[in-house]
Structure 1
């Protein structure tokens, strides 16, 4: 049975730890945002290293404050001879941060509105994100394919959340075709990724719960000569199966 946040898990440690983490995120984002913006004239690698350091410290604070860590299976499936498109399960804010720890260099597809957040969003805009307007689906798909291909050619892994939004554990949302279309047009391979972060860092929740997030990375899916629908179906099937395994392994 999938573990869900319940009142029995909401103890003093959870409230205090989540509060301390929130305070840290607010102040550290402001400081790091200003630092990244002040180095905008320097090479991109400098800004990327600064953001990497912030992610490392944030995950350390997540462990200290909330008792939340992670473990990864399938790291050997991350290509070492070139970048790929990572089609990832989307349950939480955790994966938008933590995947940088073991998939790098990377960029991600995100909402254009996030870049308007003072300091943090402005700094994010200097890190070569693929920012799309979800209200204009045709234009969003064009931007995803054009900018995604450019980033892949520059050597970046491209993180795509094909569900389009965070989906709570146990719920289902059909995969969008954007990531698979990028794979078809660019001919770069796809790597599927599953995790259960939403059980510990739920969507739209202030509270973070202690535990170990399980991450599974699947084998590379070659895309040359394949239709985007077939690529999407193959990745979705692997992720759904992996999610069932994660649930059965962690009752």
Structure 2
């Protein structure tokens, strides 16, 4: 069956109802989980991570229940079983900032420093070893990315980076920033490219979530030894671009 695109899809009562119920769940559950994580700040990182992990599991279940939105993953075998890696992912939606924590774990992510100021959710996130950068100071942001990124990788955490820097609408493209590739070049850790079409169902800056199945493709490891940051970035961007074309074709099949 051909999947309608967001541009031609009209929201019906079920979409509005499901999206509202999901929003209410987030509104009430986030402070509760945030307090639990903050209360356990003295506990090992693994315990705090597990609390967040349970919440995300519940969140994705409620998303499926209320909005009819699920996902399927291709290429899980490409995630290293031993050691960490840098995940360079397509960025279309808020969905991947949540769901990818379940698909690739344990992980931390590069994010805007201002997000840590959000009551409860942001405060709790601050205890989970994020790499929070100030985008207004690019030189300092890159320094923090490299220093903290290498430290997190050596701890065994996957580092999730959205090289486009911001959410990009389905069908649109944006030049990849070099920060993730530079981290790979400096650290020697491999890169895992990741593509998905979450923006087709959970559009950026949209309250509405549409039913369907988000397609996630995980590419083969990109070895970073003896490669420049430019070469690493180009290889990851080429794979993700091709994977996005394949996802689009599969949606139309």
Scaled to the shorter chain, the TM-score interval is over 0.9
Deviation for aligned residue 1:45: 1.0
Alignment pair present for 1:80 and 2:103? no
| Structure 2: runs of 5 or more not aligned | none
Contact (CA 8 Å) 1:71, 1:214: kept in 2 or not? yes
Task: Find the counterpart in structure 1 of residue 221 from structure 2.
Answer: 220
Partners of 1:2 and 1:247 within 8 A in 2? no
1:71 has 2:84 as partner = no
Pairwise CA distance, 1:4: 2.9
Paired residues for 1:77-116 under 5 Å: 77-116=78-117
C-alpha distance in 1, partners of 2:70/2:132? 29
**What per-residue deviation string (whole Å, max 9, x for no partner) do you get for residues 43-92 of structure 1?**
11111000000000000000000000000000000011210000000000
Report matched runs for 1:32-181 at 5 Å. Answer: 32-181=33-182
TM-score by length of structure 1 reads 0.98
CA positional deviation for 1:225: 1.0
List 4+ stretches of structure 1 deviating above 4 A. Answer: none
**Does structure 2 retain, via aligned residues, the 8 Å contact 1:223–1:231?**
yes
Partners of 1:144 and 1:41 lie apart in 2 by 25
Q: Which residue of 2 aligns with 1:192?
A: 193
Report what 1:205 is aligned to.
206
In structure 2, distance between residues paired with 1:100 and 1:131: 16
Evaluate the alpha carbon distance shift between residue 72 and residue 12 of structure 1 in structure 2; reply closer, same or farther with a 3 A threshold. Answer: same
Hey, what's the Cα distance between the residues in 2 that align with 1:224 and 1:7? Answer: 45
Once the two structures are TM-superposed, the CA of residue 6 in structure 1 deviates from its matched residue by 4.1
Unaligned runs of 5+ in 1: none
Structure 1 counterpart of 2:16: 15
Provide the TM-score with structure 2 as the length reference: 0.97
List per-residue Cα deviations over 1:159-206 (Å, max 9, x = no partner). Answer: 000000000001110000000000000000000000000000000000
Deviation digits for residues 195-235 of structure 1, max 9, x if unmatched?
A: 00000000000000000000000000000110000000000
- The answer on whether the counterparts of 1:194 and 1:239 sit within 8 Å (CA) in structure 2 is yes
Two-structure CA RMSD over aligned residues (Å): 1.1
Q: Measure the CA separation in 2 of the matches of 1:3 and 1:135.
A: 38
Distance 1:8 1:37 in 2: 41
